[in-house]
Amino acid sequence: MRIPLSAPDITQAEIAAVESVLRSGRLSLGPKLAEFEEGIADYLGAKHAVGVSSGTAGLHLCVRALGIGGGDEVILPSFTFIAAANALRYERAVPVFVDIDPRTLNIDPARIAAAITPRTRAILVPHTFGIPAEMEEILAIAKRQGLRVIEDACESIGAEIHGKKVGTLGDVGVFAFYPNKQITTAEGGVVVSSDAGLAAWTRALRNQGRSVTDDWLQHSEIGYNYRLSELHCALGIEQLKRIEAILRRREEVARLYRARLKDCAAVELPPFEWPGCRISWFAFVVRLRAASGKLDRDAIARELLKQGIETGRYFGPIHLQPAYRASTPPAQPLLVTESIAARTLALPFFNQLTEQSIAQVCDSLQAALR
């Protein structure tokens, strides 16, 4: 692979921090966890942050902590990573898929109201590819209907709406730090909330249901092993120190892509700016124009792969996945989702991507399109 789809940005400082933890002998539930949680909370402007083993674990704990269970309905887009729906199914809740806005690829607030039933308990809102969702409208709907709001900010750390960080606007938010994310802990995530009780319960659930007043073999709740190790936290602490430089670099990579592809008539580029918002660039996802119906996205991806350029087909709609197709049909036609999902192609995108590599990707893409 000459140019991978993503790559983590690891410096000697991260390596030294992880080595220091290994030499300390304290590998779990130690001072680095508290330091990382405090650092994340401070950066986001959140009252409470709880480190967990993954974004998926964080979503699951949010569902549990909000008391969402068997038969409860949660509205979310089908155009997102499957973990969002899986976290609901873990608790036997029912995902209710609605369509997306064709510009931002986020959940369409206009579709939410029509999907609400007496069994609806919450709205799960991903900020797709780091572009903030229409939270003002969504929160207004939730307030009128008495619904909880879970923000899936796994792809959007640092994104803002009118100066406020996404993930802190709903009842609870989740961030993820897989190696393809803006910053990484290798594996890991964080749950954030302004509710002290919810945060305390999340801490207990991540550690086998052990509350702060329990001893090591006492368990107040039925919980999970969703802990985040000291090694992961040490890596995350160093990454967090550089987060603004990392986000600026990713914005520059997106800018270089736009400059190279702005005159390519066969593709539609993602929005580079959005009113009142700061985009946090997780991925650079182009889409073949609907008028170019004869173009085969998958054939183009295969052609690029032959040249050593990896791409991603973000996202395969959840309602069309084998695990969901028969059991969870959407309540509404998802015409925008299905049209766009067949045409999206994520190009290589990471901090160290050089201008020369970007030129190679763009030239190869345009040749494949021709």
Q: Is there a single domain that holds both residue 202 and residue 252? A: no
Strands 120-126 and 148-152: parallel
Q: Say if 94 falls within a structural domain.
A: yes
Specify the pLDDT at position 1: 74
196 and 147 together in one domain? yes
- Here the CATH number for the domain that contains residue 313 is 3.90.1150.10
Residue 307's domain comprises: 243-369
Same-domain check for residues 223 and 268: no
**Residue 57 sits in the same domain as residue 198:** yes
Residues 257 and 233 in one domain: no
Asked if residue 161 and residue 19 are part of one domain, the reply reads yes
Residue 1 is assigned to a structural domain of this protein: no
5 belongs to a structural domain: no
- Positions annotated as catalytic residues are 181
Q: How far is C-alpha 216 from the geometric centre of its chain's CA atoms? A: 33
Does a structural domain hold residue 116? Answer: yes
Residues near 163 by Cβ (< 8 Å), separated by ≥ 6? none
Chosen domain end from 241, 267, 290: 241
- CATH of residue 65's domain is 3.40.640.10
Q: How many domains does the chain have?
A: 2
- Decide if 2 is inside a domain: no
Do 162 and 255 lie in one domain? The reply is: no
- Residue 209 falls inside a structural domain: yes
Boundary residue ending a domain (214, 241, 268): 241
Q: What is the pLDDT of residue 121?
A: 98
Same domain membership, residue 153 and residue 99: yes
Considering the domain architecture, whether residues 305 and 237 belong to the same structural domain is answered as no
Same domain flag for 194 and 269? no
Task: Let me know if residue 4 belongs to a domain.
Answer: no
Q: Based on the fold, state whether residues 73 and 203 are members of the same structural domain.
A: yes
Q: Model's pTM, two decimal places? A: 0.96
Q: Would you write out the chain's pLDDT as a tens digit for each of its 370 residues?
A: 799 999 999 999 999 999 999 999 999 999 999 999 999 999 999 999 999 999 999 999 999 999 999 999 999 999 999 999 999 999 999 999 999 999 999 999 999 999 999 999 999 999 999 999 999 999 999 999 999 999 999 999 999 999 999 999 999 999 999 999 999 999 999 999 999 999 999 999 999 999 888 888 888 889 999 999 999 999 999 999 999 999 999 999 999 999 999 999 999 999 999 999 999 999 999 999 976 557 899 999 999 999 999 999 999 999 999 999 988 878 789 999 999 999 999 999 999 999 999 999 999 999 999 8
Asked whether the beta carbons of 346 and 285 are under 8 A apart, the reply is yes
Is the same domain home to 135 and 196? Answer: yes
Q: For residues 105 and 100, what is the distance between their CA atoms, to the nearest angstrom?
A: 5
Identify the sign of the CA torsion 46, 49, 54, 56: negative
Domain boundary among the residues 201, 219, 241 is at: 241
Domain membership of residue 7 (yes or no) is no
